[in-house]
Amino acid sequence: MSTTAPCSLQLVAMQSLLSNQSLAISALEDLPRLSFPEFFMEAYAQGHTEVVKAMVKCWPFPCLPLGDLTRPPDLGTMKAVLDGLEMLLATKERPSHWQLQVVELRKVYPNIWTRGYHSMARISHPGLLNARPTGSGRSQSSGEQPLWIFMDLTIDRFQNEWQDYLVQWARKRKQRVQLCSRKLQILTGSASTIQKALLLLRLDSIQELGLSKFSRGGTVKTLAPYLGYMKNLQLLSLSRMSASCYTRSPKDSCKFAAHLGQLHHLQELYLHDVLFSSENMPAILRSLKPLKTFSLSSCLLTEDNLRFLSLCSCTSQLKHLRLRSLLMLHFSPEPLQALLENGTHTLETLALEDCDITDSQLSALLPTLSRCSLLGFFSFYGNRLSVASLHNLLNHTARLSHLTRGIYPAPLESYSVLDWWHRHIHADSWRFAQVRTGLSQMFREMGPNHKVQVCTRFDHRTDRGQFYSLAPDGSWVLTQEALPVLSPLPL
């Protein structure tokens, strides 16, 4: 079958059939299987909700990939889909050609609707279809084939209209419907709202969990027992959380840590704008297995916290490390040096950004940095380096054979004393022009495979920065770009 759009004759025939709703629905019984995807697309696009409902009921493939249609469903279309699913669930003896088991609301199968019915028929979810529910308090009648719905769910005070309708629908049918969410974001501090959603979800389907904007005491305490059931969780992001929201006592921290310790597949941890007490961080992180990615940003970090991180098993085998917007101006360099020492044979990404690291601290770090032999990306903008220290840093990173991109700070000589404390504004243009003259030769020596940039302005509220790089002809190029990110979840 051709993978292109239906020819004009087919399209005219489908539109003619859809103009008569009763006739279109009755014709589904004899509609060839290979024509179902194209006919569904046309009915969906033209808003023929009754036809959509009827087609969902008799869908002849195991999966209905709604998320890969050209536009997401509106509330009316979602209601039609769910009404069709309701009719399917109510049918005790289904014809053999009614195959629907999974409704996929994520974008996971590019161009699946135009690749022909053979591609549609091959979609499967073998890992979950035969698995039993885990830990969410759900039950399932024996002998009944569940219906699976896959989506990336966001729990917020301001719910997406059709998402909210779908969740309410699934809650009333939780004996027959398995609601799965690979990416779950919780953006509300309401413990009751969170608990209702988690009781509905298939918790072992969650692989990425983002928690944000928590300020109420005990919110994470309510969430914590559910963490242990998220057996396949690989990424955890905590952002904009006050200290009171996840602990009221060291005992609570230990309970939270105990549930985190059950996450044997956790590989990535992102902490942004989280307020830790002196006891919280060790209590929470000590239970974690070695991570691949660790990001800590905009947190009140003490030197003791940093020393603990360097000794913690969760940072012993990192491939990607980011420390951003942490005030280290008066820290001893030893804790950070020890943390980098753990990654000399594993680190591929290293970002030490906007941490007020000074010349003397950098000098102590350079021998360890030079041994990070696998480093491919290095970002060091927003630190307090002189021109001489920047030259020294470039000399060391130039020897890292795998390094393909480096982002460096505009040196102190680029700013007036007042400007340094307001680095979201431009570096002084005349001062930086003098600095660039001395950097040109050094940048040329870095080699063609190493993209070198100087960041003269950055704003973490918008995640944008201003960068200078050296063009092949020796001129300097100014660009406005997004700041580099590590996380697939927005923070």
In the structure, what pLDDT confidence band is assigned to residue 243 with cuts at 50, 70 and 90?
low
Mean pLDDT of 414-419: 73
Q: Indicate yes or no: pTM above 0.85.
A: yes
- Pairing state between β 451-459 and 464-470: antiparallel
Q: What integer pLDDT is reported at residue 371 of this predicted model?
A: 96
Minimum mean pLDDT range among 13-27, 169-183, 204-218 = 204-218
Query: How far is 185 from 422, CA to CA, in rounded Å?
Result: 33
Q: What contacts 391, CB < 8 A, 6 or more positions away?
A: 438, 439, 442
Q: How confident is the model at residue 1 (pLDDT cuts 50, 70, 90)?
A: very low
- 489 confidence band (pLDDT: 50, 70, 90): very low
235-239: average pLDDT? 92
pLDDT at 2: 44
* CA gap 57, 41 in Å, rounded: 15
Q: What pLDDT score does 54 carry? A: 95
Amino acid at 269: L
pLDDT of residue 141: 47
- The alpha carbon of 295 is separated from its chain's Cα centroid by a whole number of angstroms, namely 13
119-177 pLDDT tens trace: 898 887 755 544 555 555 454 544 567 899 999 999 887 667 888 899 999 999 988 99
Is the per-residue pLDDT at 453 higher than 80?
A: yes
Encode pLDDT of 87-110 as tens digits: 999 988 888 888 899 999 999 999
Whose structure tokens read 């969760």? 314
Give every CB contact of residue 26 below 8 A, 6+ residues apart in sequence. none
What value does the mean pLDDT take over residues 301-328?
94
Of 482 and 279, more confident:
482
Distance CA 442, CA 449 (A): 14
- Closest to 448 in 3D by CA, of 468, 471, 466: 471
Cα Dmax for the chain: 81
Q: Which residue has the higher pLDDT, 246 or 456?
A: 456
The average confidence (pLDDT) of the chain is 86
Does the pLDDT at position 4 exceed 60? no
pLDDT of residue 11: 76
Of the given ranges (39-43, 112-116, 252-256), which has the lowest mean pLDDT?
Answer: 252-256
Q: So what's the pLDDT on residue 221?
A: 75
pLDDT tens string 252-302: 666 777 788 889 999 999 999 887 766 678 878 888 999 999 999 999 899
The 8-class DSSP code of residue 243 comes to G
- Is residue 395 exposed (0-12), middle (13-18) or buried (19+ Cβ within 10 Å)? middle
Please tell me the predicted confidence (pLDDT) of residue 490.
Answer: 44
Per the model's pLDDT, the better-predicted residue between 115 and 207 turns out to be 207
Among 55-59, 369-373, 425-429, which is the least confidently predicted range?
425-429
| Confidence check: pLDDT of 485 > 90 | no
Percentage of residues in the chain having pLDDT higher than 90: 54
* Residue pair 156/187 in contact by the 8 Å Cβ criterion: yes
pLDDT > 70 fraction of the chain, expressed in percent and rounded? 87
